[in-house]
């Protein structure tokens, strides 16, 4: 009996030794660009996200899956519902979403419901509905407002569900492309990479991509935000000059 008790600490130690733990797998990430400049003629961009899996042990037999998310700045959004009243369409009800990313893309190496469990989705807020928070909405049918916001932004390309768009080679190398629309919101864009097996998250890597207006676009944006009166006067002067120039050109052409 004493000998069995003496062996118990050794058994417990063996269970917590590093060799008994699951193999650690980490992400080594690369980006085609970590800063996106919005200019006057900016019409969108394509971002290449690629990387490798770093491990110190043999590759497990269970297939590895990769999920990539890219999220723009989040802000509250008010969603209105229109109804026909006396022959005209008016706003009859509204719901304020607590937080909705201006842009959100999810790229996966397989169907989302196969590469990520519902529990892990809830924990990490990976899918598009999880990324949009509407916990403050209390009216009946509030969920339909959130779904309408998602559908609208999916049509414009602001929200993208890219299943089977992450290529994984030899369970080690991965890559995917995310198309960014022309109407990007300025700010810090958060990129997350998840390594999963059998729907469970093994590792996560986070980085930030800076999206900023540059040149004339930047100057006008700062002027409008910080000196609204000067921006308004400048717009008025430009409008008057443009009208006068058009009128003069028209008279010359007629003469």
> Which of these ranges, 75-84, 190-199, 231-240, has the smallest mean pLDDT?
231-240
Give the model confidence (pLDDT) of 111-140 as tens digits: 999 999 999 999 999 999 999 876 555 555
Dig out the tokens for 25 from the structure.
């797998």
pLDDT at 181: 87
Top-level CATH class of 23-213?
mainly beta
Statement: residue 102 has pLDDT above 80: yes
Q: pTM for this structure? A: 0.72
What is the DSSP secondary structure assignment for residue 166, as one 8-state letter? -
Q: Which two tokens stand for residue 112?
A: 């989302």
| Residue 20 pLDDT greater than 60, yes or no | no
Strand positions, DSSP E, 17-143: 25-31, 35-38, 45-55, 65-71, 74-85, 88-101, 104-108
**Is residue 28 scored above 50 in pLDDT?**
yes
């Amino acid at each position: 009996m004493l000998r069995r008790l003496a062996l118990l600490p050794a058994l417990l130690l063996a269970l917590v030794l590093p060799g008994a733990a699951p193999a650690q797998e980490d992400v080594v990430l690369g980006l085609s660009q970590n800063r996106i400049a919005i200019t006057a003629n900016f019409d969108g961009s394509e971002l290449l996200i690629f990387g490798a899996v770093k491990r110190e042990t043999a590759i497990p037999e269970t297939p590895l899956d990769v999920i990539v998310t890219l999220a723009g700045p989040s802000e509250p959004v008010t969603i209105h519902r229109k109804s026909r009243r006396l022959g005209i369409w008016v706003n009859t009800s509204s719901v304020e979403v607590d937080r909705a990313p201006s842009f959100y893309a999810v790229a996966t190496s397989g169907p989302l419901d196969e590469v990520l469990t519902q529990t892990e989705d809830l924990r990490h807020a990976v899918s598009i509905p999880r990324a949009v928070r509407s916990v403050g909405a209390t009216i009946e049918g509030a969920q339909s407002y959130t779904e309408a916001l998602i559908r609208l932004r999916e049509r414009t390309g602001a929200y993208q569900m890219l299943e089977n768009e992450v290529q994984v080679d030899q369970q080690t190398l991965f890559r995917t492309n995310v198309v960014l629309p022309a109407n990007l919101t300025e700010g810090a864009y958060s990129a997350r990479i998840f390594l999963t097996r059998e729907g469970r998250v093994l590792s996560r890597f986070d980085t930030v991509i800076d999206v900023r207006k540059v040149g004339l676009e930047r100057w006008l944006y700062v002027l409008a935000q910080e000196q609204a009166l000067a921006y308004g006067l400048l717009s008025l002067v430009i409008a008057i000059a443009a009208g006068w120039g058009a009128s003069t050109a028209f008279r010359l052409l007629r003469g």
